[in-house]
Chain A
Amino acid sequence: GENVEQHPSTLSVQEGDSAVIKCTYSDSASNYFPWYKQELGKRPQLIIDIRSNVGEKKDQRIAVTLNKTAKHFSLHITETQPEDSAVYFCAASKADRLAFGKGNQVVVIP
């Protein structure tokens, strides 16, 4: 089955700086790549997603890039704010299910 890995496991950034989280996947047939954010004590929520026919997608301060050849995709958060502190999960899907990575803890230092 699909195997998704995230790096780094923990990331600390100064408020206002950028944060980048990278994920790799194993199944070249995967075609959908969402990112979920989970704040402490809350449920995961989708923040952005990308499909395999697109290389990059942006939504305000958040962007995702996809490199199908290298089988990796990345989440970029610019101008980080304290409310960006959370665990971020990437995932990959090719059909009926998502395979999630283990998650990245992002800490934004005021």
Chain B
Amino acid sequence: DVKVTQSSRYLVKRTGEKVFLECVQDMDHENMFWYRQDPGLGLRLIYFSYDVKMKEKGDIPEGYSVSREKKERFSLILESASTNQTSMYLCASSYASGDYEQYFGPGTRLTVT
């Protein structure tokens, strides 16, 4: 079974803090993704990575950056957290490009106060 894990289920941070969300997958997948999920807006792609040290912007990259130093780990960074970044963050991985099944992590509920 593919396992995708995320570092925290719930996180509360203050405005202006630097926030790190980490995701680890154990299936040697090439591609990893970060989404945010908000009620009524579905899943929106923030960033994705198709290889170590490679990254591509998704649909809503503003205010976020990512890091992929190892194949199994993909980090999402909020340089200076703002209240409008309060959301559920989902990480996913897939064997290859966009036309393969994506396996999701359990999500991190981030609240910025």
Contacts and interface: CB of A to CB of B under 8 A. Distances in A.
Interface residues of B, number: 24
Interface stretch (A40-48, A54-62, A63-71): A40-48
Contacts of B44: 100
Interface of B: 31, 33, 35, 40-45, 48, 50, 56, 58-59, 90, 97-99, 101-102, 104-107
A83 B1 CA distance: 22
A49 B48 CA distance: 21
A95 B98 contact: yes
Contacts, number: 56
A46 B97 contact: no
A44 B43 contact: yes
Contacts of A101: 42
A100 B56 CA distance: 17
A6 to B, nearest CB: 8
A11 interface: no
Given A43-B106, A43-B107, A94 B43 contact: no
A110 interface: no
Interface in A8-64: 31-32, 34, 42-46, 49, 51
Contact of B104 (A43, A49, A94, A102): A43
